[in-house]
Amino acid sequence: MNTNSMNPKVDRRDGKLSMAHFYVAFTALAIGGLAGLLQTLVRSGKFELPSWTGYYQILTIHGVVLGLVLTTFFIMGFQLALVSKTSGTFTDKQRLTGWIGFWTMTIGTVMAAIMILTNQASVLYTFYAPLQAHALFYLGLTLVIVGSWIDGAAIIMAYTSWRKANPGKPSPLLTFMSLVNTLMWIVATIGVAATVLFQLLPWSLGLVDRVDVLVSRTLFWYFGHPLVYFWLLPAYMAWYAIVPKIIGGKIFSDSLARMSFILFLLFSIPVGFHHQLMEPGIDPAWKFLQVILTFLVVIPSLMTAFSLFATFEMFGRSKGATGLFGWVKKLPWGDARFAVPFIGMLAFIPAGAGGLVNASHQLNQVVHNTIWVTGHFHLTLATSVVLTFFGISYWLVPHLTGRVLTKAMNKLAIIQGVIWAIGMTFMSGAMHAAGLLGAPRRSSFSTYGGSEQAAEWIPYQIAQAVGGTILFLGIILMLYIFINLAFFAPKGEEEFPVGEVADQAEKTPMVFENWKLWLGITVLLILFAYTIPFIDMIQNAPIGSKGYKFF
């Protein structure tokens, strides 16, 4: 990796910008986590919410606040820190852009939150037109997205100026990865921006009477799947380029890391139909095409898995490990910066396997909209990604605030990771099992008129509540650690670990920085996967739907 422009420390002014993002992200964790706890309790059938709130209102809070606010704020804060560290301190103009992005996102979040809290927007976070929320809810979420674009502009500006200052050289790996994720995010969010601006806003303001539901769903899922890769890629950044340094090893291959990120850019967007497999109005042949494209992300995922374990093994052997698995013992299990993301990596194995089921043409029919799906993304997003984010916070927050991760906090962080793993085993395991029996997702507690089938689901729902309670303890611990690292930990220098490439790895080819090529292929794939079915949808459209407020 190119280290000549790397900052020894993230500049304090850039650190403040990142920390602002993290304050919002961890506030979201507190609110969304509490909402999650209440949901699992209600669904156990042993607990009722007070009359001034409802299950679906709480569910909307949980989804929006954790799925959109926590993730977007954390990721943008993390990426800004990565770019500032590896490509040099932001210019005043770049930093100002970042702040404008932050405030735009924050104002949008507050607007959406007010609408949810006053029960004018209990439409969950996938919108569900023709259920109609208050216009300010849609406008608020638009501002969150637009704000993230402005944040992204700061990253693109910093990348561009680095490339200008270093002609003919590959950009620093972590800057490159942040850029890929930002570009993917911008291409993907065009879908949700289009449905909100052209469909949902005019309709909720009463400017038009009707909304085309299928078009709105298609635009949403065009964004909704790459969204999960937007969450995942920052975790991959840490796994590829930061964890190797933490354990004292080297990055296996710089070029392969870049290649896998480019493949994620290409294959994560033209695949939204696999969320719509059970829907009318889309020809099955087009659904199958997108199923195939969905499965192509298996390739970069396999590359990532190989690269990670190669790094671990190379490190273990360099410490004198022998035998097939002797290197496992040499890994620094007592270091939360490694151990916590490692739990996340392990969770990704069943999580990825479950994902293959969900995206399959026919297997999806068994699990579609059952609570199995909820179990799946509580392993991917809520374990793999979130534990990696926690692992990042353990060094990044003290680095940015000029403090250190003490031994006591490190120990607490490992306990936190273990609690999370136990809670999630109960909750996600029970969700997977109940889903296979047919229990629906996004539903409040119900005996369905005393049905025998529904009675079988209830023990699993109680297990979910047990898991949810353990997870909430994990959230309290995490918030305690975050507050300690941000405000109370002893002053000092905490390392910002950036991995170096293994000596035997070869020079990185410049073709990876050819954005005309990669964005061109991305656009072609999107056009290939969407043009004809989209024209079909519009030509074959039924009369649009009026708005309903069933909440």
- Which of the residues are catalytic? 225, 229, 376-378, 441-442
Other Cβ atoms closer than 10 A to 411:
12
Give least dist CB 443 to another protein, A. 4
Min CB(68)–another protein separation in Å = 17
Do 70 and 109 meet the contact criterion of CB atoms below 8 Å apart?
A: no
- C-beta closer to another protein: residue 143 or 259: 259
Count of CA atoms in the C-beta half-sphere (13 A) of 152: 19
Residue closer to another protein (CB basis): 171 or 410? 171
Angle between helices 254-267 and 213-237 in degrees, nearest 10: 170
Alpha-carbon distance 399 to 141, whole Å?
31
Estimate the share of the chain in helix, then strand, then coil, as percent rounded to the nearest 5: 70, 0, 25
Q: Phi first, then psi: give them for residue 315, nearest 5 degrees.
A: -65, -45
Nearest partner of 368 among 272, 269, 275, judged by Cα: 275
Please say which residue, 256 or 477, places its beta carbon nearer to another protein: 256
Alpha helices, DSSP H only, in 166-241? 173-194, 201-204, 213-237
In whole angstroms, give the CA distance from residue 161 to residue 110. Answer: 34
Least distance from C-beta 123 to another protein, angstroms? 8
Q: Closest separation between CB of residue 258 and another protein, Å?
A: 10
Sequence length of the chain is 551
Which of helix, strand or coil describes residue 391? helix
Residue 546: both structure tokens together: 């009026």
Residue nearer to another protein on the CB measure, 328 or 356: 356
Q: Based on CB atoms, which residue is closest to another protein, 152 or 244?
A: 244
Nearer to another protein, 334 or 542 (CB): 542
Cα–Cα distance for residue pair 151/162, rounded to 1 Å: 17
Answer yes or no: are the C-beta atoms of 347 and 391 closer than 8 Å: no
Segment holding 345, helix H or strand E: helix 336-359
Shortest distance (Å) from residue 417 CB to another protein: 28
